[in-house]
Structure 1
Amino acid sequence: MVLSHPLPFSKAVQVHGACLCLHTQRAARLVARRFDAGLKRHGITSGQFSLMMSLNRPEPGSVKWVADLLAVDRTTLTAALKPLERKGLVEVETDPADRRGKLLSLTAEGQRVLAEAVVTWEGLQAAEEGRLANPDELRSALSALR
């Protein structure tokens, strides 16, 4: 289908240069790839690391609480939990206070893997922060987008 009034190429250039969504997604994918490569030796991805870190708490977290923290929907969270559950790193239990709800926690093996992975994460984090003139300013700007 040919548009009768196609957008000029200059509009594509303008959007590409200005689009916050594009720039944020691109940066996130690049950073995630580097973290994924570093965390691979622990058998987890950067997303799994973040999910496991959200479960590193004294009490199990509800699916809603973890989904809200990670800014994902419950269906996406449930799908992300499955491989961690199969590996024996995360446990999903029925909430005794509300049988419809699920509580999420790290297993002993999950705690071990996370403790080892966090050492790798610290090096990766330092390297990524070293790419930036002011990492605190970036964190603040990203937080403002909530």
Structure 2
Amino acid sequence: MNAVASKADECNNLALRKASRYLGATYDKALAPLGLRATQFSILQQLSVREEMTISGLADVIAMDRTTMASNLKPLAREGLVTIETAAADRRARNVMITPEGLARMKAALPHWEGVQAEFEGKFGAEPAAQMRTLLENVLGTGFDPWAE
């Protein structure tokens, strides 16, 4: 094996993206009957536990840059699942809130999401899945910031 090939086998980014595409496609397929993608479900899920958030705050919680978050919110707003309004405290900020329709759609999607969770944990193992989530959350706490200026 040459040096380049051995480095490819060690690439954290490639391993993470392969697993992410695989799992993401599985969740997308399960949520498709409800007209949601996995990312949209995650956004609605986060908003369902908070009254409102700024776009930047929501982006931080989901570890997404603000511009990408704003793009992901547009179809949700068009469908009436979220509202986006100028914040009273800071006219530059935009607040996002889940609508009753958004909450209903997220709740309807929840059994589909739970099914994928259960199937994955049944095949991968509940303990390894929990360890994987912990390890991935720990990546966020490393101080490595891809959006740092």
TM-score of the superposed pair, with normalisation by structure 2:
0.87
Q: How far off is 1:98 after superposition?
A: 1.3
Instruction: Provide structure 2 residue ranges, at least 5 long, that are not aligned to the other structure.
Output: 141-149
1:145 maps to which of 127, 139, 149: 139
Structure 2 CA distance for partners of 1:27 and 1:58, relative to 1, 3 Å: closer
Structure 2 residue 37 is matched with structure 1 residue 53: no
Q: How far off is 1:128 after superposition?
A: 1.4
For residue 100 of structure 2, what is the aligned residue in structure 1? 108
Q: How far off is 1:51 after superposition?
A: 1.0
CA distance in 2, matches of 1:143, 1:72: 14
Q: Please give the root-mean-square deviation of Cα atoms over the aligned residues, in Å.
A: 1.3
1:132 maps to which of 124, 132, 135: 124
Instruction: Provide structure 1 residue ranges, at least 5 long, that are not aligned to the other structure.
Output: 1-8
Alignment of 1:27-42 (within 5 A): 27-42=19-34
Q: Report which stretch shifted further, 52-61 or 32-41.
A: 52-61
Secondary structure in structure 2 of the residue aligned to 1:26: helix
Structure 2 residue 43 is matched with structure 1 residue 43: no
Letter in 2 for 1:80: N
CA distance in 2, matches of 1:75, 1:88: 20
Q: Deviations over 1:117-144 (max 9, x none)?
A: 0111011111112232421111122122
For residue 65 of structure 2, what is the aligned residue in structure 1? 73
Structure 2 CA distance for partners of 1:40 and 1:97, relative to 1, 3 Å: same
For residue 3 of structure 1, what is the aligned residue in structure 2? none
Aligned residues: 138
**Which protein has the larger Cα radius of gyration, Structure 1 or Structure 2?**
1
Letter in 1 for 2:59: A
Q: Report which stretch shifted further, 128-137 or 16-25.
A: 128-137
CA distance in 1, matches of 2:12, 2:123: 20
CA distance in 1, matches of 2:88, 2:119: 43
CA distance in 1, matches of 2:108, 2:44: 12
TM-score of the superposed pair, with normalisation by structure 1:
0.89
Give aligned-pair identity as a percent: 33
Q: How far off is 1:145 after superposition?
A: 1.2
